[in-house]
Structure 1
Amino acid sequence: MLELRRLRLLRELSIRGTIAEVADVLSYSPSSVSQQLTQLEAEAGVELLRRTGRTLQLTPQAQVLVAHTEELLGSMERAEAALAATLSTVTGTVRLAVFQTAMLALMPPVLRELRTTYPRLRVEMSQQEPAEALHETSSRNFDLVVAEQYPGHAAPHYENLDRRVLTHDAIRLALPARGAAGNAEFDRVATLEHAAHLPWVMEPEGAASRHWAEQSCRLAGFEPDVRYETADLQAHLQLVASGNAVALLPALVLRTDSGTLRAVELPGAPMRTIFTAMRHSSTQSPAMQAVRSLLHRQPGMIDEQGSADPPPTKRLLR
């Protein structure tokens, strides 16, 4: 009989591509992973892995097993959720992946309320980039993800994930408060075009937010002078507040400012979309429902099913 634990190793190999990565993700040694896969091959009675140069390829028979393993893992997850639903107390562990803004602006009150309402529920939270977090949630290394996508930049879709819009977050041009920069050019900015000759801070190349920001500047008729690069949006705030740069920042980031910035509206009132995603097979889990429902019930959030595309008439989040 095939063992589910070994089947999961095969599935992970189909996702990760190398035994070393499978071992790293599951906290095994590479030799242990190899031994377990060899034993699975013996149990199956067919060749599952074929070496091509320095890489391992899954045979067609292995791909069949991987597809069934996905179904088995989903069934197990649904069974665990059904069992947990028979209990009077919400317990267990929820592994949550969030991006930086969500960790700073959304999660503190949610975690506090969870601790009070569900004292036996454990939440483990990790800061992750949205694309990686969605991939790892699909792969079962996280249970729930809070992710973002910028206008015209769709986040990756996975068939086994259930997505719900959390909010639409207005994006604005962030500037130092009037007089704070010691430079009248900052004070005169009233539109995006006025910032054409000022220094900018943006996220590193490759980030959806960076590509969107650059395209916005180009549509306004200029190439931004990006002098500072960092993925830390709190650093963006500090660089802007100190009069060293301007930036395009979402409302949730600006909400953490203590009054040292001013914000200018952008043409078309662009918004990023923030959404939650979890596996379809875990949506009935009381623990997962508790965390997700509380997130969607926060002030300014959307507590309903919806696509991750902002309606054109959506009001700005303030």
Structure 2
Amino acid sequence: MFDLHRLRLLRELKHRGTLAAVAAALSYAPSSVSQQLSQLEAEVGVPLLEPVGRRVRLTEQAEILVAHTEAVLERLERAEADIARSLTDLTGTVRVASFQTAALALVPAALGLLRAEHPHLRVHVTHMEPEVALPALQARDFDLVLAEEYPGVPGRRPADLEQEDLFADPLRLAAPLDSAAPRLPASLGSLSDHPWVMEPEGTPARHWAVTRCREAGFEPDVRFETTDLLLHVRLVEEGHAAAFLPDLVWRGHSPTVPLRRLPDERRVFTVVRKGRSGHPAIVACREALRRTVAV
């Protein structure tokens, strides 16, 4: 029988890409990781790694092993969930990653519900954008991810992850406050001559925003790039830029800039690994988020 610990190291290598990254994530010495994988090769009796420049990649046989390892780990997570359900008190730690606006607008209230109803559950929250958080979820750095998806920009849906919709977040056109009597923009095209603030190139939000501008007949003059939507708001307030802003930015207070509703919505959802969705801590976190959204 193959050693599960060594199989997990091989799986980590697939997800993290380098021996150094595996060692750093697990607090091992790189030489120790390499030695363990060499012992696994001896157990299996075939090469599992092949050099590619200064890196290594998994052989076909290693990929087969990783697929079976994923199935074993999924079953073990189901076992962990079954044990947790058998207990009367919800304890332990759940690790959550969330994009910025959800972290600001939803997570604090959800944490309040969890603290009141499950005082012995420890929730660790990290601000992280979905394109980074979802691979980290696969690598078991997190237990639950709050993610977003913009219209026309479908994200990758790995088979080992499960999604659950939370709500649809309307998107609006924000006009810069550059006059004493601010007015709603007549249309997207009416802001074609203004500077814009958008998220960085390569992000789904940026792809969607540029596509919308091109559909309106112009190439946006993007002078400011940041994932910080609070900075987007500030630049619009000061008259420096136009922007696309989701309604979640204004949760709990009134908008401070003129907004025009667009026919688009971004999808906000939670993601967990397969086999994890039935764990009481995950169920409690998702329920707290749903109740927060419903308020």
Name the TM-score, length of structure 2 as normaliser. Answer: 0.93
Q: Residues 1-42 of structure 1, C-alpha deviation per residue, up to 9 Å, x if partnerless?
A: 432121111011122222112223323221221122122223
Question: Cα offset for 1:63?
Answer: 2.3
Contact 1:237 1:257 survives alignment (8 Å): no
* C-alpha distance in 1 between matches for 2:38 and 2:170: 53
Residue 162 of structure 1 and its aligned partner are, at CA, apart by 1.4
Partner of 1:293: 287
Deviates most, 54-63 or 281-290: 54-63
For residue 93 of structure 1, what is the aligned residue in structure 2? 93
CA separation of 1:102 and 1:188: change in aligned 2, threshold 3 A: closer
Q: Does 1:213 align with 2:209?
A: yes
User: For residues 115-154 of structure 1, what are the structure 2 equivalents within 5 Å?
Assistant: 115-154=115-154
- Give matches, 1:189-208, under 5 Å: 189-208=185-204
**Quick check: 1:98–1:128 contact (8 Å CA) kept in 2?**
yes
Contact 1:174 / 1:249 at 8 angstroms: preserved in 2?
A: yes
Map residues 72-87 of structure 1 onto 2, 5 A cutoff.
72-87=72-87
Q: How does 1:249-260 map to 2 (within 5 A)?
A: 249-255=245-251, 258-260=254-256
Secondary structure of the structure 2 residue equivalent to 1:265: strand
Aligned to 2:271: 277
Q: Which is further off, 246-255 or 57-66?
A: 57-66
Q: Identity rate of aligned residues, in percent?
A: 51
In structure 2, what is the Cα distance between the partners aligned to 1:299 and 1:80?
Answer: 29
Residue 121 of structure 1 deviates from its aligned partner by 0.5
Structure 1 pair 128/206, CA: closer, same or farther in 2 (3 Å)? same
In structure 2, C-alpha distance between the alignment counterparts of 1:240 and 1:131, rounded to whole Å:
26
> Could you say what secondary structure the match of 2:292 adopts?
coil
Which consecutive residues of structure 1, in runs of 5 or more, have no partner in the other structure?
Answer: 302-318
Q: Note closer, same or farther for the CA distance 1:34–1:237 as it changes in structure 2 (3 Å cut).
A: same
**One-letter code of the match for 2:285?**
V
Count of residues in Structure 1 that have an aligned counterpart in Structure 2: 295
Q: Distance in 1 between matches of 2:260 and 2:280?
A: 42
What does residue 71 of structure 1 align with?
Answer: 71
Two-structure CA RMSD over aligned residues (Å): 1.9
CA deviation profile, 1:195-254 (whole Å, cap 9, x unmatched): 111121111111111111111111112221211111111100111111111101111013
TM-score, length of structure 1 as denominator length: 0.87
Alignment of 1:226 with 2:222, yes or no, is yes
Unaligned runs of 5+ in 2: none
2:84 and 2:264 map into 1 onto residues whose CA distance is: 42
Distance 2:196 2:31 in 1: 49
Preserved contact between residue 185 and residue 259 of structure 2 (Cα < 8 Å): no
Match for 2:174: what amino acid? A
**Partner Cα separation in structure 2 for residue 188 and residue 8 of structure 1:** 55
